[in-house]
Chain A
Amino acid sequence: MSHYQPHTETETRAMLDQLGLSSVDALFMDVPEAVRLTNPPLLAKGLSQMDTLRAMEKLAAQNTAYRLTLRGAGCYDHFIPPLVSQITGKEEFVTAYTPYQSEMSQGILQSIFEYQTLICELTGMEVSNAGVYDGATAAAESATMCRERNRTVTLVSACAHPDTIAVMRTYCYGTGHELRVIPAVDGHTDLNALQTMLTADVAGVYIQQPNFYGILEDVPTLFAAAKAAGVKCILGQNPMTFALLPSGKEVGADIVCGDVQPFGIPMAFGGPSAGYMTTSTALQRRLPGRIVGQTIDAEGRRAFVLTLQAREQHIRREKASSNICSNEAHCTLTASVYLTYLGARGLTTVADNCLANAHALAKALCAIPGIALRYPGEFFHEFVTDLPVAPQKVEAALEAEGILSGLPVEGGMLWCVTEKADASQLARVAELVKGVCAK
């Protein structure tokens, strides 16, 4: 019922006449008769805009609306300042294509150059690309960057996000390279095991910080071991934590990557978000995807362009460093606006609040008989507790009050607390959990 073609019937007729065609069907003469559809595909009848929106609202309403989310595991519910959505909603940003024509795209190119700078500042690294699909594909692409002729194996910690490991495995399956998993001990990457696995065929090692269980890994020690064996170090880090934790440079990473979703990007059932990738100048020509560089125009004015394109598929075809073309530009723009608006001060407040709130909940939960932290060690805003009852019971009790509990994992629960929770809500959560555990 709705359509977006402007031609009136008279105009269509006139245009066909100008082409010397009797009907629109004549436009498809080259399509063999055998494959021409005689009936339209079996879709529902079109709706007016009003009814379309109503139908979509009805679908949206089927989802449970939680007032508090205590689940993270790679997707985080942070406060999104209205300014962020207002800016990123500008149609020039929303409806542009990739900035191939730099003279017409200086605004987008400059925003990407600023993004690259912001991410380099956070990670402490020298070079950033314009982003990839998400944190998991960033990890997989980083593994590819590390490979040498005689070093092709990638090591990944068992404490990394299961989706990240699965995506890395998929990319390795494609190119025929091996992925080996470093076992976990007490919720940490097993350093002793890593040391035995650092053989001469290993190219890179991937460590996630904080890891899937929320634990802060001893990254400098793990990376020192890898470096001593000539292995490149990939740090996959929640970028929000760079407000507090040491930068990638400070822990000795060769590549730092992850997902910028915590920076103003809604959860949206897990996508879209964007993967960030940063490295040293030495490795910059191995980065996949787009990179924006600064230059000058004919009059000497500062200008921004897509650069180092000799790495990319449209030039190198099957020899490209990656096949990536479209990335997640609008999500990296969102992250830039978020970071530019909050500044280091605001970002640190958000991170401090996550840290304080998570520790407050952990303390309150651990005061309940039968509940304890499952793993020793420091954590940021996620932690695993054992539970004296089935996790699904806790999930149901919290859901009854509009709260999404932590994620059930191996009989326990992986909790996540962001700046959005307040003390009274967290006290209520502890009360509810206590009630379930007492039964």
Chain B
Amino acid sequence: MSETVSLSFEKSVKGRYTDVVSPSDAPACTLPQAFRRKIAPVLPELSEVNVDRHYTQLAHRAYGVNCGFYPLGSCTMKYNPAVNQAAGSLPGFTHVHPLAPAHAVTGCRAVMDELAADLCQITGMDAFTLQPAAGAHGELTGMLLVKAYHEARGDSKRIKMLVPDSAHGTNPASAAMAGFTVVNVPSREDGCVDLDALSGLLGDDTAGMMMTNPNTLGLFEKDICKISRMVHEAGGLMYYDGANLNAILGVARPGDMGFDVTHLNLHKTFSTPHGGGGPGSGPVGMKAPLAPYMPAVASLGQQSKLQMKAFHGNFGVMVKALAYLKSLGAENLRAVAEHAVLNANYLMKRLKDMGYTPAHDVPCMHEFVLTLTDVKDTYGVSALDVAKAMIDHGIHPPTMYFPMIVHEALMFEPTETESRETLDKAADVMADILAQVKREPEALHTAPHCAVIGRPDEVKAARTPVLRWNHEA
């Protein structure tokens, strides 16, 4: 398995092909010279078997949550149920043109309407747009809704968006793309928003505040109602980053905590697969006063200040999320959160008992953060070293070096779909690694040792970028 896999281009044999389509029976047609390509593209020339085996080799060098434990913090890598995939593959959904006449797409509309209604119930929002394609795209949508809202009221001096220093990197980036000036809100020692600092930052230039709750430390912001009140009193709106909704599904709703607008990640909380980085879907819920600025679809003749992408959004992802909600039902929503939080606390306790240090030694929600500064200081072994060692044990590492306010951070999110024995095995692995840290710390600097490659030279990759294969080479 440690043999490198040649690129498809390197496997190419001149003249090899498979006839997928035969020439049309219509009279052949040629474009004038000015519209004809001079230099032909070089694509691989392979047989069907070549192609199939090439990608099978690549698949063997990949790892998904359906392969094993994937406790990547803030990413909610829960199992992706097969029934959702089956629903998403129905030709009645895949073979539908986005601009087909309204009477021909009532099934698609029903999927979107039902999903939006369910999401309203789950979050306590009044309306949802399903157009955004991912979480960050949803954040941008939400920021633009906030901007349009203030603008319509003639409140044009509200240019500041408050973002806690524990926030996901997308939060400040999204606020900036909506034209807001980002203002950092410091966290207290206990990891939650510093209310005194917040109070000093609020004013008549406050457009709003973006929050994740539970926050990226896996802690529920206990003062949330007070924070919302403070921001509202200053005339700002509250934005909820739904990346961590899994922790409170059926337990509490952002809408009840004072949030005015929220994005959700269907590819996290609602079990749709991540596909190696996407497609996701980032629906945005809003309270009624923001609904007039909802994104529209220009190609359907609709008018709005906002449109986030072509057509209706990532419909194929919505189908899977609706199938998930239909199978789960009202009665099982809360169990998702309960088991997600139970699993996180269980794993955190086992790791703590064996000598790892939680960044905050209090019960957590769906995820928790370890700080490995003591390991680093005593043995010279970093969070990166420990994460890489996990790969040798067949576990996907947790999120590393995030949130930025914790040094040598490892952020674990086991999710509710993992069994006790999986958590116990992961804990045993972490114990083995800790023993190795004490026994032979140097060995960890070069981990992993059993993966298909050792540590790649990332500096070389960035300094002398090779971003495509070249046939001259």
Contacts and interface: CB of A to CB of B under 8 A. Distances in A.
The 4 closest A-B pairs by CB, nearest first: A46-B329, A60-B92, A270-B311, A330-B275
Contact of B98 (A94, A269, A313, A355): A269
A7 B339 contact: yes
Contacts of A11: 419-420
A302 to B, nearest CB: 5
Given A46-B329, A71-B97, A114 B460 contact: no
Given A103-B454, A114-B7, A176 B179 contact: yes
A104 B69 CA distance: 13
Interface in A317-339: 317-320, 322-331, 333, 337, 339
Contacts of A423: 24-26
A368 B344 CA distance: 70
Contacts of B439: none
Given A103-B451, A114-B469, A175 B179 contact: yes
A394 to B, nearest CB: 12
A298 B455 contact: yes
Interface string A219-262: 01000000000000000000000111111001000000001000
Interface string B387-408: 1100100001101001000000
A31 interface: yes
Given A46-B327, A66-B95, A87-B55, 13 more contacts: A87-B52, A97-B72, A107-B61, A166-B296, A167-B310, A244-B36, A246-B38, A250-B38, A272-B278, A301-B453, A344-B40, A399-B104, A404-B97
A365 to B, nearest CB: 13
Contacts of B41: 121-122, 124, 242-243, 247, 344
Interface stretch (B136-144, B194-202, B284-292): B136-144
Contact of B462 (A44, A126, A307): A307
Given A167-B307, A327-B134, A120 B468 contact: yes
A360 B26 contact: yes
Contacts of A92: 59-60, 62-64, 67
10 contacts: A19-B346, A37-B250, A53-B86, A96-B275, A116-B467, A270-B315, A272-B316, A323-B174, A329-B278, A423-B26
A107 B62 contact: yes
Contact of B279 (A28, A118, A272): A272
Interface stretch (A145-153, A184-192, A286-294): A286-294
Interface bin, chain A: 35 or more
Interface stretch (B14-22, B368-376, B428-436): B14-22
A266 interface: yes
B231 interface: no
A44 B330 contact: yes
Nearest to A58: B107
Contacts of B437: none
Interface string B264-277: 00010001011111
A5 interface: yes
Interface string A392-414: 00010001000010010000000
B135 A163 contact: no
Contacts of A90: 55-56, 59
A47 interface: yes
A165 B297 CA distance: 11
Interface string A1-34: 1111111000110111011000010011111101
A170 B306 contact: yes
A239 B45 CA distance: 19
Contact of A43 (B101, B177, B325): B325
A86 B53 CA distance: 12
A340 B396 contact: no
Contacts of B140: 174, 323
A395 B110 contact: no
